[in-house]
A and B are shown apart, each in its own frame.
Chain A
Amino acid sequence: MRRTRAILVNTLPPLAFLIVFFFLPLVVLLLYSFWRMDAGVLRQQFTLANYLDVFREPVYVPLLIKSVVIGIGAMLATLAIGYPLAYFIRFHGGRHRNALLMLVILTMLSSYLVRVYAWKAILGNNGILNSFLMHVGLIEEPLTFLLYSNSAVLFAFIQIFTPFIVLPVYSAMANIDDSLLEASRDLGASPLTTFLRVTLPLSKPGVIGGGLLAFILIAGDFVTPTLVGGVDGIMIGKTIQSQFGFAYNWPLGSAVAFSMLALMAVVGGLWALVVNLLLPTAGGER
């Protein structure tokens, strides 16, 4: 009894903070999603009309799906870059391990907005890429499709969110004691076999956690699509934001937001499931 009280006392302050500043607003938003905005007037009567709008209006569902797809795609791409990077730093970084890790973290120190703007400077008509290509004579007119497109959004996401994968994966790999790798070699395994049977399975938590984090941050993002996405590169985050902005339809915005939340939860769960299935513990036998 004394112990339960001690636990409660210790967790109450952060729990209270979480309740007041996270759960309560979430509950309020959920309530909003069941109310209705009728010609500029908020009607606080329970209705499912907002959710019906989400599914019936032609604009929302495709955008939800597109955002999830971009989220998954960008996440897989960052994984493809971040995993080898983490592996290299952990197992071949030697004395320079911490310095290399610092370099990765350093990229996260600069403002998010600054980094997105940097992509404008790179991909724009007068940007670095176009200037370079014209300078070497490969093109005569600037490539206008570079900026304000889906690809611009994708590239920006990959560059910005790679550290979010590198750190969890590195952390999981750091937990792999070197003696485990030596033991594997001692028992006859080649470096590749050791990777497949020991390193990969043991880095699973990092892959799942890092991938989840990257996916969630990317799929719901609206800053990057706004700045470099243009009309083509629009994602659901922008739509939700506008409902809370100039479109001023909080009920609808909330309904879209919670639909996205549910979708991301499902995808996130599937991700964990798939990784667990693809990276079995012992290489499959039993």
Chain B
Amino acid sequence: MADDSPIVVLEQVTKRFGRVVAVDDVSLEVGRGQFVSLVGPSGCGKTTTLRLVGGFEEPTCGRVYIDGRDVSEVPANRRSTNMCFQRYALFPHLNVFDNIAYGLRVRKRPRPEIVARVSRLLELVDLVGFERRRVHELSGGQSQRVSLARALVNEPSVLLLDEPLAALDLKLRRQMQIELRRIQHALGTTFIYVTHDQEEALTMSDRIFVMNCGRVVQEGAPDEVYSRPANEFTASFVGDSNLLQVDVTAPGEASWDGFALRIPAGVARPGGKALLSLRAERINLRLVERPGDARDHLRGVVREAIFLGPLVRYLVETQAGGTLRIIQLSSGGRALREGEQVLLEWDAADLVEVAKE
């Protein structure tokens, strides 16, 4: 009974605007009922991809399938998708109720049905009592929720969200992230979410598509993408990574700028080079040298110490010559200061080989 087929399929889709290639031969599948994120820097093509699914753009090449149907030439108003716009796009001449009811009125649904469905949605987004409010009277968070309710009123099979939380302050954003997740679970609707905030994508998604320059460079579950970045871009865009260019000297051993270190067994090719990613939080810093450690260690000098509240970020210039970024929890005691001599250590298993760009 549960349909396992993907609800959205993009098959080798390319979108060109004049000479600009916004989406470059992208193929992806979105599973039913999943919360999926398209994440990447500005201009990577994630919004264009979303708009291709929504029917606001037509693919230059390739096909778009929704629920098994080829919708490549179907305009937006006839697709079973709905969009939550980045700046809400609420109708200023209508109140909250009429905004949400718009989709139903356009389909000429009878009044009792409209009242019932709009009321249910107002409950879902926690805006009961706001029916008669004018759009300009709403706060950012409230506008966002009206925009969501309006997009859900036609019960779309896929909800598209274009950086809906971008305009909200941090605390509100975190709240709404949880809210959106809750609503998605409650409805079982497939959500496709576009954001440039990799942290947001990691928090909310079942699956992430990392995009750069119009292409999907990696896809997978959040923890997969985070701990096993496949390429240089993903390693540096998702989370805070150090990229080490090493010369492999023997199986399980390599040299980084003259410093000998152990590497995971899988990275073969003695005599060859490899690019390894090391997450900033997987490096440990300490002041004093302790004998008899199984871990690798490296000496360095603190060049920068930035206090981030619960975390501290350090920039350390190593004896080997390279610079490493380290993130540590703020300890009860004082943070390390600039100029202090430190020891860096990490577990060889945390080194992940990434493909060179």
Most A CB contacts (10 A, CB to CB) among B83, B93, B150 go to B93
Interface residues of B in 49-67 (CB under 8 A from A): 54-56
Contact A183 B106, CB 8 Å, known A188-B77, A281-B98, A282-B94: no
Q: How far is the CB of B210 from chain A (nearest CB, A)?
A: 26
Q: How far is the CB of A95 from chain B (nearest CB, A)?
A: 12
Contact A193 B56, CB 8 Å, known A177-B89, A185-B77, A281-B93: no
Most B CB contacts (10 A, CB to CB) among A177, A185, A190, A285 go to A185
Closest A residue by C-beta to B107: A188
A188 is contacted by which of B83, B89, B90, B154 (Cβ under 8 Å)? B154
Contact call A197/B76, Cβ cutoff below 8 A: no
Contact A179 B87, CB 8 Å, known A186-B54, A202-B92, A281-B94: yes
Contact call A182/B89, Cβ cutoff below 8 A: yes
Most A CB contacts (10 A, CB to CB) among B76, B78, B150 go to B76
Interface size on A, as a range, is 20 to 34
Contact call A282/B98, Cβ cutoff below 8 A: yes
Instruction: Find chain B residues with CB under 8 A from A142 CB.
Output: none
Instruction: Find chain A residues with CB under 8 A from B153 CB.
Output: 187
Contact call B76/A182, Cβ cutoff below 8 A: yes
Contact call B93/A190, Cβ cutoff below 8 A: no
Contact call B93/A202, Cβ cutoff below 8 A: yes
Interface residues of A in 125-146 (CB under 8 A from B): none
Instruction: Find chain A residues with CB under 8 A from B56 CB.
Output: 182, 185-186
Closest A residue by C-beta to B111: A285
Q: Is A184 an interface residue (CB 8 A)?
A: yes
Closest B residue by C-beta to A181: B89
Q: 1/0 contact trace for A270-284 toward B, CB 8 Å?
A: 000000000001110
Instruction: Find chain B residues with CB under 8 A from A285 CB.
Output: 105, 111
Instruction: Find chain A residues with CB under 8 A from B94 CB.
Output: 281-282
Contact call A187/B89, Cβ cutoff below 8 A: no
Contact call A189/B106, Cβ cutoff below 8 A: yes
Q: How far is the CB of B170 from chain A (nearest CB, A)?
A: 25
Instruction: Find chain A residues with CB under 8 A from B346 CB.
Output: none
Q: How far is the CB of B66 from chain A (nearest CB, A)?
A: 14
Contact A188 B93, CB 8 Å, known A182-B56, A182-B76, A281-B98: no
Interface residues of A in 4-54 (CB under 8 A from B): none
A211 to B90, CA, bound (A): 28
Interface residues of A in 155-198 (CB under 8 A from B): 177, 179-180, 182-190, 193, 197-198
Interface residues of B in 110-155 (CB under 8 A from A): 111, 150-151, 153-154
Q: Is A230 an interface residue (CB 8 A)?
A: no
Q: Is B233 an interface residue (CB 8 A)?
A: no
A198 to B75, CA, bound (A): 19
Contact A186 B91, CB 8 Å, known A281-B98, A282-B98: no
Q: Is A201 an interface residue (CB 8 A)?
A: yes
Contact call A186/B105, Cβ cutoff below 8 A: no
Q: How far is the CB of A37 from chain B (nearest CB, A)?
A: 52
Instruction: Find chain B residues with CB under 8 A from A184 CB.
Output: 91, 102, 106
Q: 1/0 contact trace for B258-285 toward A, CB 8 Å?
A: 0000000000000000000000000000
Interface residues of B in 232-274 (CB under 8 A from A): none
Contact call A188/B106, Cβ cutoff below 8 A: yes
Contact call A185/B102, Cβ cutoff below 8 A: no
Q: Is B220 an interface residue (CB 8 A)?
A: no
Instruction: Find chain B residues with CB under 8 A from A187 CB.
Output: 77, 82, 102-103, 106, 150-151, 153-154
Interface residues of B in 170-186 (CB under 8 A from A): none
Instruction: Find chain B residues with CB under 8 A from A190 CB.
Output: 77
Contact call A283/B105, Cβ cutoff below 8 A: yes
Contact call B106/A193, Cβ cutoff below 8 A: yes
A249 to B333, CA, bound (A): 97
Beyond the given A186-B55, A186-B82, A197-B102, please list 10 additional residue pairs across the A-B interface where CB-CB is below 8 A.
A179-B87, A182-B76, A182-B83, A183-B89, A183-B91, A184-B91, A187-B77, A187-B154, A283-B105, A285-B111
